[in-house]
Amino acid sequence: MLVLVTGATGFLGRRVVQHLLDHHHSVRCLVHTPGGERIFEDRSLDIYYGNVSDPEALSEALQGVDAVIHLVAIIRQRRGATFDAINRQGTANVAAAAKQSTVKHFIHVSANGVTNDSSYKYLYSKLQGEQEVISSGLSYTIFRPALMYGRGDEFLNTLAGLTRILPVVPVVGSGRNRFQPIDVDDVARSLVLAVDRQDLKGKILEIGGPEQLSYNDILAAVARTLGKRRWRLHLPVWLMYLATLVIQIVQPRPAITTEQLRMVTRRNVSEFGVVEQTFGFTPKVMEGNIDYVKSVTAGDGFSIAMGLRPTRVRDH
């Protein structure tokens, strides 16, 4: 089966590509930046250059494709790349091109916690992206993964950087909000197992890890992995929001945006056992599988605090 992966060089995409190869699929990668494909050692990959805003490039990339795994999305807006343009319209463009092609299964990665509340711009755009897929007339499966972690992730590596340099780590509100972290490799494995599953067409799957952890729990797990003991300073949401708003204006890439700050205060969990029941394996627990945060140095922590993003912290 020939499978097109959009966002193939990204955090999740590179794992999806490897799992597809392991399952003996033919893989075509849509690559935004020429040369980005050099991260892949396998030279059998079929590389097409383009982006989700270019219908002509999408049409060419989708010729003869049997299935699509659509991963392209942004969690930070920047000039020329808004949530609506990429997460909704970009998805609509890929779905429209797939509809005109030979695609038999369209797998779309959304996000857990999507909402019809337009004040949550990212989560709202992801819901709209889902609706574009559903209304396209394609046979689809939509995944809503919970918080993903793994080597090169932004969330845990940022916490590690701040833990390295701060004796007291700031926490938004009570820090009791629940998350259900899932290893990015387990998400990739699930996506690839879904490609041949006729019974999953027309379904929306919310998937998470085997445990629900509070923000405080996650921060403590990162500190233990680093061999550090840190106090936590709980700050009111409104105060953190104002501080983040100012930092967002003066720094090129703040450690957290106001949009991300609001999402941190929302529950991000799903039902237990969905991955086990649907795909036959148990996702990994977080603690004990995040040793990669040990590579984050104090220097990286200062860079994060200054609004810079070292490659080892976010390598995609």
Location of structure tokens 């995609």: 316
Beta bridge partners of 204: 142
Q: Which of 168, 306, 155 is nearest to 230 (CA)?
A: 168
Residues 52 and 86: beta-carbon distance below 8 Å: yes
| CA-to-CA dists, residue 235 to 108, 175, 223, 288, angstroms | 36, 9, 19, 29
Residues 287 and 270: beta-carbon distance below 8 Å: no
Which backbone phi and psi does 235 adopt, to 5 degrees?
-115, 145
Walk me through the domains of the chain, giving residue ranges and CATH numbers. 2-145 (3.40.50.720), 155-179+210-269+285-305 (3.90.25)
Tell me the per-residue pLDDT of 116-168, one tens digit each, with 9 for 90 and over: 999 999 999 999 999 999 999 999 999 999 999 999 999 999 999 999 999 99
**pLDDT score recorded for residue 306:** 82
Location of structure tokens 């779905």: 95
**pTM for the complete prediction?**
0.94
**pLDDT score recorded for residue 84:** 97
Residues 261 and 316: beta-carbon distance below 8 Å: no
Q: Which of 143, 54, 131 is nearest to 88 (CA)?
A: 131
d(CA 69, CA 6): 7
Q: pLDDT 10s digit of each residue in the chain, 316 long?
A: 999 999 999 999 999 999 999 999 999 999 999 999 999 988 889 999 999 999 999 999 999 999 999 999 999 988 889 999 999 999 999 999 999 999 999 999 999 999 999 999 999 999 999 999 999 999 999 999 999 999 999 999 999 999 999 999 999 999 999 999 999 999 999 999 999 999 999 999 999 999 999 999 999 999 999 999 999 999 998 998 998 888 888 877 787 888 988 888 888 899 999 999 999 999 999 999 999 999 999 999 998 888 777 766 665 5
